[in-house]
C-alpha cells in the first residue's frame, strides 16, 4: 500500500500536470464536452427566466400565501445541494416520466439531457428570481405612481414601465448567472451526461493519465468564463456611463 502511494507521488512531476499526449486520440471528448456544457448552461438559464420572473412577482405580492409559496420554493432550492436536487429529479420525477433515448447532434441523449436541464433550470430560477426582485425594487417607486396616474392598471404599469427598466438593470447579473451555470453544469457528470468534466474523467480513466485531462478541463473552463466575465464587466461599465449622462 505504501509503495503504491509512493509510486503515485513519484509520478506527480511538474511535467505530469501538462501531459497532454492523449489529445490526438481523445480531442473529440473535449470538443463535444464543451458543446454539451454550453448547451446545458444556455438552455437552463433561458428556461429559468420565466419561472424566475413569476417567482419574483409572487415574492412582491401582498397576498401572504402567494408570497410564502414563492419564498418556500426559493429557500428549498437555495438551501439544498444541486447534486441532491439533480438526483431526486433524475431518479424520482424522470423515473415516472420516461424520456425516450433519442440522440440530437449525434451525442446529446435526450433521456439524460432533459432531466439535467430541468434540474439546473429549477435551481437557477431560485437565484434568478432574487435577481429579478432586486431589479424591480431598484426602479424608483415614482415610476409606478406616474404610470398609474396616467390610467394604467397595476399589471400594465409593471409590464410596460417597471419591468423594462428592471431588465436593463439586471442584464449584467443575468449574464453572470450564465457564466456560473457553465461551472455548475459540471455536476451533471455524476449522472453520466457527456459534458466537459465527464470527458475529462473518461479520458483519465482510459489513459491512466490522472492529472492532464483535468488540467485541460480547467484551462477550457477558464478560457470560457474569464473572457465572458470581463466582457460582462465592460458592458456593465458602459451601461453605468450611459445612465450618468
Cell 457527456 sits on residue:
194
pLDDT at 67: 92
Least confident span in 107-121, 143-157, 178-192: 143-157
Query: pLDDT higher for 146 or 195?
Result: 195
Q: Average pLDDT over the chain, rounded to whole?
A: 84
Measured between alpha carbons, how far is 206 from 202 in angstroms, rounded to an integer? 6
Helix (H) or strand (E) holding 177: helix 163-184
pLDDT at 7: 43
Residue 245's pLDDT band (cuts 50, 70, 90): low
In terms of CATH architecture, what is 21-244?
Orthogonal Bundle (1.10)
pLDDT at 31: 92
pLDDT at 149: 78
Whether the pLDDT of residue 5 is over 60: the answer is no
Enumerate the domain spans of the chain: 21-244
The stretch 163-185 carries a mean pLDDT of: 85
Residue 170: alpha-carbon gap to chain centroid: 16
Whether the pLDDT of residue 15 is over 80: the answer is no
Is 0.75 surpassed by the pTM of this model? yes
Measured between alpha carbons, how far is 95 from 73 in angstroms, rounded to an integer? 22
pLDDT in tens, 104-134: 877 788 888 999 999 999 999 999 999 988 8
Q: Torsions phi, psi of 109, nearest 5?
A: -85, 115
The stretch 4-33 carries a mean pLDDT of: 69
Amino acid at each position: 500500500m505504501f509503495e503504491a502511494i509512493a509510486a503515485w507521488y513519484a509520478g506527480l512531476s511538474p511535467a505530469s500536470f501538462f501531459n497532454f499526449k492523449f489529445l490526438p486520440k481523445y480531442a473529440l471528448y473535449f470538443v463535444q464536452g464543451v458543446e454539451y456544457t454550453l448547451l446545458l448552461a444556455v438552455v437552463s438559464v433561458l428556461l429559468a427566466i420565466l419561472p424566475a420572473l413569476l417567482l419574483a412577482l409572487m415574492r412582491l405580492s401582498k397576498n401572504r400565501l402567494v408570497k410564502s409559496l414563492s419564498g418556500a420554493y426559493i429557500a428549498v432550492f437555495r438551501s439544498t445541494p444541486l447534486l441532491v436536487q439533480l438526483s431526486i429529479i433524475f431518479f424520482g420525477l424522470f423515473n415516472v416520466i420516461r424520456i425516450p433515448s433519442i440522440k440530437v447532434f449525434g451525442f446529446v441523449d435526450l433521456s439524460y439531457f432533459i432531466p439535467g436541464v430541468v434540474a439546473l433550470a429549477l435551481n437557477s430560477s431560485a437565484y434568478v428570481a432574487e435577481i429579478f426582485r432586486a431589479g424591480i425594487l431598484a426602479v424608483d417607486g415614482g415610476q409606478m405612481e406616474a404610470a398609474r396616474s396616467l390610467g394604467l392598471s397595476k399589471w400594465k404599469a409593471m409590464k410596460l414601465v417597471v419591468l423594462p427598466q428592471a431588465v436593463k438593470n439586471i442584464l449584467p447579473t443575468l449574464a453572470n448567472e450564465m457564466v456560473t451555470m457553465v461551472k455548475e453544469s459540471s455536476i451533471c457528470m455524476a449522472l453520466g451526461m457527456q459534458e466537459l468534466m465527464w470527458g475529462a474523467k473518461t479520458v483519465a480513466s482510459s489513459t491512466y493519465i490522472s492529472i492532464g485531462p483535468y488540467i485541460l478541463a480547467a484551462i477550457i473552463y477558464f478560457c470560457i468564463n474569464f473572457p465572458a466575465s470581463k466582457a460582462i464587466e465592460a458592458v456593465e461599465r458602459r451601461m453605468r456611463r450611459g445612465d450618468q449622462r
